[in-house]
Structure 1
Amino acid sequence: MVLPVGRSFYVETRFGRVKGFRYAADSGRADAPVVVVQGGISGSGQLWKLDGSGWWQSLYSVFAPADDVQVISFDYLGGIGGSDTPDQPLTVAQHAQAYADTLVKLGLTDISAWLGGSFGGVLGLQLAATNNQLDLKRLAILGAAHKPSIQSALLRSFQQLLLQHAENEQQGVILARALAMLTYRSADEFEQRFSHADDALQYILAQGERLLRNHGKQANTLFTHLTPALNDYAIDPAQVSCPVQIVSFSSDSIAPAALTSQLEALLPNCHSYISIETPYGHDGFIKNVADYARPLAHFIPELNSEIELPEIIL
């Protein structure tokens, strides 16, 4: 089975040093099939941990039974992990190129699948559409589309205004993260979870304080180096030749159904489109793993789709 402990590595690229993690099956074969897993901008390459605190821990049960696969994940350049922060923010295309260069330097050009949630899905689309260094067999996209939604672009623009006009950098980070949390979840989720708006306000502010407390200066780069890239990208789905699976979430305002449906129609080889009803909005790609686990395992043959998947606890 794929172990929940990743071996870290560093690779120098033209855009800075990239830190990554390799999660291998018990056999640990260096030439085992490769699946790249990338999450959102606030994620790290530490997908899974023994203590259950990995960034995408809920996804681990999907990969754990695979007996001959290696999972690769990267800390984002300018993100909260161990990769460098470039002097200038990178574009989506430059981010994708940096991680492609990393895989090439590792000798991993035959990629069985790229599984990307949110920002990770955008990068997967970018690579599949424009990169000829990698032989990408399959692409799974969760909560992402080929261009930003107008609402998500407004959100990120307003975050920049908060950073510029806050009394200090720390306050700006807290408010920007609080605004992000407001849009990552749906109105229904807030109605179900809180009895008063003041309680909800305290919750989203606490999430901003938590980000700042856990990541310090790096929390600021999420908004100066990563979020701006997502306001200015456009990927031509017609250039994506590999089979693609799209997972969309009904209440997602960052990658709304209108955009993911458009992406489905424009792709030459859309294998499947899965729409999930959830109150969790954009965070559905993390919170609703149990709802898309089985079709995902069927889409990526290396995940041994014929075996019984263990229960996934969110």
Structure 2
Amino acid sequence: MDAGNVGWTVPRKVRLADINNPLPLDCGKKITPVEVEYETYGKLNDTRDNAILILHALSGDAHAAGRSTKADEMNRPWLKDRPGWWDRMIGPGKAFDTNIYFIICSNILGSCYGTTGPADTNPETGRPYGLAFPVVTVGDWVRLQERLISHLGIKRLRAVAGGSLGGQQALEWALAYPDRVESAIVIASSTRLSAQGLAFNAVARHAITTDPNFREGNYYNDSAPDRGLAVARMLAHITYLSEISMSRKFGRRYRNGDGPGFHLGTDFEVEGYLQHQGNSFVDRFDANSYLYITRAMDYYDASSWGDGDINQACRRIESRMLLVSFSSDWLYPPEETKELAIALSRCGKHVSYANIQSSYGHDAFLLEVENLSRLVRGFLKARGAQ
């Protein structure tokens, strides 16, 4: 391990909803029991005011930094050889400095990485939930995260931070619990997904549900809908990149030779890349979880806190806000992030906005580490300069 790494990490689990204290959901139902998997890095100080909650994106998990000690025990072999998904941002001396802050990352409700989801046992039937799992929202995720923070004895978070779907959770925290969040860092995200984003998610779900192995979500004791899930992931990866990055990375290069193979198999480099991403994804993710998480992504609209008016909604926010977009991101375009920054400014809120020039597309929140670290580090240090 290098000096800037958090080292070996151990995931933890806690039950945050039971029969006496079920978790209420936005769909009108309640769910119990609910277990949450989470990891922590750094040390909580005596006054318990140095905690930062990191929020993951669609296919992320609680393993945000370091190397996992429990990959084999959790039957997640892919964790053995890779650091946490935001390892370059979390650790001693990094943007989220574990010499200063106590970092927490938990897995979202409905996922397949340790927190209760469709693959877990439904207590009413003794079988996996499948599509009997209730529809969940970003608001539900944040409500569950608030239970975790309270369980850890933390009254107020120094910051919440995340990219993409994680950024929407950070925004929801600032709206839902204004008195419990000192600052919020919203990266590569906006107040809601565009119609184009909704369309991509709809096609992805259709690919899964029309796979012959889907069986109305009851596939856990049989062959899984791997083909449909692979196609969904391939489609998603197109939205994560940009035309510039795809052109630079693949262009129109053929996989074998300098010309067409005159067949219907994989001929171009970009095809091979997408197939690899799809095939590797099915080894580590659950198709039902993909359906539920993308639907939560679709439903999120921060303006609902203001009866459809984002300016009205922003009046609730008391946190210092850092908003970051990326010039080539077309899943959450810069202009949408800028609209949120303007709404916050109109309401007299403390907001900083930066649009980073990048060719990486939406994935820039994972790749533009140097520029992003500079912004985050400066924002966190400037807490007293209001």
* TM-score category (smaller protein): 0.7 to 0.9
Moved more, 224-233 or 172-181: 224-233
Query: Could you tell me which residue of structure 2 aligns to residue 97 of structure 1?
Result: 143
Deviations, residues 166-194 of structure 1 (Å, cap 9, x unaligned): 34311110000000001100011110011
**Greater RCO (Cα-Cα under 8 Å, separation 6 or more):** 1
The question of whether the paired residues in 1 share the 8 Å contact of 2:5 and 2:87 is answered with no
Structure 1 position 147 matched with structure 2 position 195 = no
Structure 1 position 205 matched with structure 2 position 275 = yes
Query: Could you tell me which residue of structure 1 aligns to residue 261 of structure 2?
Result: none
* Aligned-partner Cα distance in 2 for 1:234–1:253: 18
1:67 to 92, 96, 99: 99
Query: Could you tell me which residue of structure 1 aligns to residue 327 of structure 2?
Result: 250
The question of whether the paired residues in 1 share the 8 Å contact of 2:110 and 2:293 is answered with yes
Residues matched between the structures, number: 298
1:39 to 36, 40, 56: 56
Tell me how large the CA RMSD over aligned residues is: 2.3
Letter in 2 for 1:31: R
Query: Could you tell me which residue of structure 1 aligns to residue 370 of structure 2?
Result: 290
Higher Cα Rg, which structure: 2
Structure 1 position 10 matched with structure 2 position 56 = no
Query: Could you tell me which residue of structure 2 aligns to residue 308 of structure 1?
Result: none
Deviations, residues 57-94 of structure 1 (Å, cap 9, x unaligned): 22135247542321000012222411110512311111
Query: Could you tell me which residue of structure 1 aligns to residue 380 of structure 2?
Result: 300
* Aligned-partner Cα distance in 2 for 1:65–1:88: 37
2:355 to 272, 275, 285: 275
Moved more, 43-52 or 279-288: 43-52
Query: Could you tell me which residue of structure 1 aligns to residue 265 of structure 2?
Result: none
- Give structure 1 stretches of 5+ with no counterpart: 304-314
Deviation at residue 34 of structure 1 after TM alignment: 0.2
Query: Could you tell me which residue of structure 2 aligns to residue 163 of structure 1?
Result: 208
Letter in 2 for 1:84: T
* Aligned-partner Cα distance in 1 for 2:145–2:350: 24
Moved more, 177-186 or 229-238: 229-238
The question of whether the paired residues in 2 share the 8 Å contact of 1:33 and 1:302 is answered with no
* Aligned-partner Cα distance in 2 for 1:90–1:124: 17
Deviation at residue 35 of structure 1 after TM alignment: 0.7
The question of whether the paired residues in 2 share the 8 Å contact of 1:149 and 1:256 is answered with no
Query: Could you tell me which residue of structure 1 aligns to residue 169 of structure 2?
Result: 123
* Aligned-partner Cα distance in 2 for 1:302–1:201: 45
Letter in 1 for 2:100: D
Q: 1:250 to 1:150 in 2, by over 3 A?
A: same
* Aligned-partner Cα distance in 1 for 2:7–2:105: 13
The question of whether the paired residues in 1 share the 8 Å contact of 2:181 and 2:319 is answered with yes
The question of whether the paired residues in 2 share the 8 Å contact of 1:33 and 1:70 is answered with yes
Residue aligned with 1:110, SS: coil
* Aligned-partner Cα distance in 1 for 2:9–2:155: 20
Query: Could you tell me which residue of structure 1 aligns to residue 86 of structure 2?
Result: 56
* Aligned-partner Cα distance in 1 for 2:154–2:10: 16
Structure with the higher helix share, 1 or 2? 1
Query: Could you tell me which residue of structure 2 aligns to residue 240 of structure 1?
Result: 317
* Aligned-partner Cα distance in 2 for 1:60–1:291: 15
Moved more, 58-67 or 91-100: 58-67
Query: Could you tell me which residue of structure 1 aligns to residue 41 of structure 2?
Result: 23
Query: Could you tell me which residue of structure 2 aligns to residue 311 of structure 1?
Result: none
Residue aligned with 2:140, SS: helix
Letter in 2 for 1:265: I
Residue aligned with 1:37, SS: strand
* Aligned-partner Cα distance in 2 for 1:67–1:302: 17
Query: Could you tell me which residue of structure 1 aligns to residue 229 of structure 2?
Result: 173
Q: 1:38 to 1:291 in 2, by over 3 A?
A: same
Q: 1:36 to 1:18 in 2, by over 3 A?
A: same
* Aligned-partner Cα distance in 1 for 2:107–2:235: 23
Moved more, 175-184 or 39-48: 39-48
Letter in 2 for 1:81: Y
1:85 to 117, 120, 123: 117
* Aligned-partner Cα distance in 2 for 1:285–1:245: 14
Percent identity reads 22
Structure 1 position 226 matched with structure 2 position 293 = yes
Letter in 2 for 1:137: E
Residue aligned with 1:300, SS: helix
* Aligned-partner Cα distance in 2 for 1:256–1:281: 9
The question of whether the paired residues in 2 share the 8 Å contact of 1:78 and 1:226 is answered with yes
Deviation at residue 204 of structure 1 after TM alignment: 1.1
Moved more, 259-268 or 3-12: 3-12
Letter in 2 for 1:226: I
Q: 1:288 to 1:43 in 2, by over 3 A?
A: same
